[in-house]
Amino acid sequence: MIKKNRKPKKRTTFIKLFARNAVIGLLLTAVFAGVLFSAGKKYIFSQARSELYQKINSLQTSVSATDNMQSRSKESLISSLRFSANYNITLSADFQIASDYTENCTALVAITDEKGNILYSSRKGLQAIIRLNEEEEKESMLCNTEVLSIPELTQLEEDYYAMKNKETPDTYVHFNLLSAYVNSEKNSFIPHEAELNLIRFDPKGKKEDEVIETKQYNITMPDKENYILIEFNQSDSSSNYPIAVLDGFFGTDKYHFDELIHDKTIQQSVIPSQNLSIGFGTYGISSTVDIHHSTSNIWLDGERNFLVVIFKVDAWNSVTKPLYFRIVAIFLIIVLFIAFLDSWRRNVKNQAEYAFADYQKALTNHLAHDLKTPLMAISGYTENLIENKLSTTEKNKYLQSILDNIAYTDSIISRTLELNNMHELNSLKKEKIHVLSLVEQISEKYGLLLDKKNILLKISGQAEITADLDLLKTVIENLISNAVKYTVENGTIQIKINPKSCSISNTVSEKIDVAELKRPFKKGDTARSGKLGSGLGLSIADKAAEANHFRLILSCSDTEYIAKLIF
């Protein structure tokens, strides 16, 4: 059975290799992105539940302490709830990945009675820490905009939310309280003169803050009973009383608060009723948003009430989105870089294999071409010997020609095998070599030929190098042999040796193109054609030099040919 020849391996390019690796990299990135998304969401929700449990304990203690302090008013309790209406999930000590101020993330606290009526809540409202004198403790006072029907106050709140929507990464809203109606007993105040400012700041701190939008308010309170109008100190000194600091809106955004508190699922499973089970719960409203909630007993004024805490957590928020894409992008860049390096490595290996295959193919083609001439000559002489009646002299002439062509053919084959073996060297046997002694030893073999052509040989300099002796012999042998063959009669060969190089030059009759002279079977000009040489000597010398980690440089002028071996 005849076996079919295997098809040669299909060649590829760096672009194709990289494209193939890039596709694999993209698939890996897609898998990584999916795992990262799932793990990130799981981590955020897990941290939210953990913080919810901690928040319940903290609120229970805070509310109980407020209830036991008889001097505290309703406003003080609401203020405590507002400041507690937050959660913060961090990836590290300084990096927040889900907070109640990020998009679609909300924290809500409420105290209800057994019928589900909200008694106190964290719904956002205007608050300020006001100190009337040095002896007075810092107290957070509350402005209840829902109870007080003052159009200007309602407008101030609406303007505040409208200005907050204009905030950008380099701007913020500042609420400045100039004067207010204050009721110390109720821990309550009503703004009198105030202003809202939208301020642009320089993150690098090189420029002063710039007010880009401002609104001013002058609110008159109809019923001033138990309220005193107080103007606050606006200087930088904190010792000039009365002062109002940390002023602004605190608590759960009113729109988010109303959205959550009126949610049907919240109403059925969170807000207290006769069938409500006290405890924790979670339900998802989308693939990335979960509601974590808790309902627990709380006692106020000796009566049983319920503390309701709700966390609406969006794992895909304005902080996690860019962080997620940044991590995936970094992963993709790393994967593509690895794909690039792998493609480059494989391409270099492939190119070396392709080059060697092309070299072997060219070597075979050149060998076949160069063997045709002697074989045709042998064939012709043989036919003449068989078919013609020749004299003894003519027979001897033809036989000698046949022997010469056989010897030439054998020389070509031997030299080709020698060149081919240069690619299969596995290791070098390096040793100390006296270059001058080696050159003199090789030159002695060509003494008769030098005398016959009346060539003057000059050797100068000396050097000791570390190299593979057999390979160095091959290089020097081929270079000297080449010089002897192609030096014109009465010419000169000069061999100059130094620790960095060995230069062999010889006189020539015309300039030779050396660009491709180291290629197999390349004989240069017509002076180097015929049977004078095989065209393999310089190829063998070049490969032997490379194997020894040396370089062979060829050059030629109109009168001188130089082969320089760089150590």
Contact yes or no for 552/541 (Cβ under 8 A)? yes
167 contact partners, CB below 8 Å, separation of at least 6 = 173, 198
The phi and psi torsions of 402 (rounded to 5 degrees) equal -65, -45
Whether pLDDT at 222 is above 80: no
Please name which of 510, 512, 511 lies closest in space to residue 523, comparing C-alpha atoms.
Answer: 512
DSSP designation for 523: -
Report residue 41 as tokens: 């969401």
Mean pLDDT computed over 174-184: 88
Q: Which residues of 95-113 are buried (b: 16+ CB within 10 A; e: fewer)?
A: eebbbbebebbbbbbbbbe
Tell me the HSE value of 297 on the side-chain side, using a 13 A CA sphere: 5
Higher-scoring residue by pLDDT: 243, 139:
243
pLDDT of residue 9: 67
Whether pLDDT at 287 is above 50: yes
What distance in Å separates the CA atoms of residue 545 and residue 178, rounded to the nearest whole number? Answer: 91
Mean pLDDT computed over 228-244: 80
Q: How confident is the model at residue 542 (pLDDT cuts 50, 70, 90)?
A: confident
* DSSP per residue, 189-225: EEEEEEEEEEEE--TTS-S--EEEEEEEEE---S--T
pLDDT of residue 445: 81
Lowest mean pLDDT among 132-146, 479-493, 501-515: 132-146
Q: What is the pLDDT of residues 341-373, one digit of tens each?
A: 999 999 998 888 887 777 667 666 656 655 666
Please name which of 328, 318, 268, 260 lies closest in space to residue 290, comparing C-alpha atoms.
Answer: 260
Percent of the chain at pLDDT > 70 equals 83
Q: Mean pLDDT for the chain?
A: 81
Higher-scoring residue by pLDDT: 225, 156:
156
pLDDT of residue 36: 95
DSSP designation for 232: P
Contact yes or no for 429/469 (Cβ under 8 A)? yes
Whether pLDDT at 530 is above 50: no
397 contact partners, CB below 8 Å, separation of at least 6 = none
Contact yes or no for 269/290 (Cβ under 8 A)? no
pLDDT of residue 415: 63
Whether pLDDT at 426 is above 80: no
Contact yes or no for 135/264 (Cβ under 8 A)? no
Mean pLDDT computed over 197-218: 89
Report residue 370 as tokens: 């160069």
Q: What is the pLDDT of residues 70-105, one digit of tens each?
A: 545 677 788 788 888 888 888 876 678 888 777 788
pLDDT of residue 94: 67
Higher-scoring residue by pLDDT: 17, 226:
17
Percent of the chain at pLDDT > 90 equals 24
Mean pLDDT computed over 113-136: 82
Determine the Cα angle at 355 with ends 350 and 361, to 5°. 125
Does a cis peptide bond (omega within 30 degrees of 0) precede residue 242? yes
471 contact partners, CB below 8 Å, separation of at least 6 = 425, 428, 544, 545, 547, 548
Amino acid (one-letter) located at 466: T
553 contact partners, CB below 8 Å, separation of at least 6 = 563, 564, 566
Please name which of 477, 480, 474 lies closest in space to residue 458, comparing C-alpha atoms.
Answer: 480
Lowest mean pLDDT among 123-127, 501-505, 526-530: 526-530
Contact yes or no for 87/52 (Cβ under 8 A)? yes
Most confident of 29-38, 111-120, 251-260, 295-304: 29-38
Mean pLDDT computed over 181-198: 87
What distance in Å separates the CA atoms of residue 78 and residue 81, rounded to the nearest whole number? Answer: 5
